[in-house]
Chains A and B, each alone.
Chain A
Amino acid sequence: DAGITQSPRHKVTETGTPVTLRCHQTENHRYMYWYRQDPGHGLRLIHYSYGVKDTDKGEVSDGYSVSRSKTEDFLLTLESATSSQTSVYFCAISDQGQGGNQPQHFGDGTRLSIL
Chain B
Amino acid sequence: GEDVEQSLFLSVREGDSSVINCTYTDSSSTYLYWYKQEPGAGLQLLTYIFSNMDMKQDQRLTVLLNKKDKHLSLRIADTQTGDSAIYFCAEGNYNTDKLIFGTGTRLQVFP
Interface residues of A, Cβ cutoff 8 Å to B: 1, 4, 40-45, 90, 92, 96-101, 103-109
Contact = CB atoms under 8 A, between A and B. Distances in A.
Interface in B84-111: 88, 91-99, 101-104
Given A90-B43, A98-B98, A103 B48 contact: yes
Contacts of A103: 31, 33, 45, 48
B44 interface: yes
A19 to B, nearest CB: 19
B30 interface: yes
Contact of B103 (A41, A101, A109): A41
Nearest to A105: B45
Given A99-B30, A103-B33, A108 B96 contact: no
B79 interface: no
Contacts of B92: 98-100
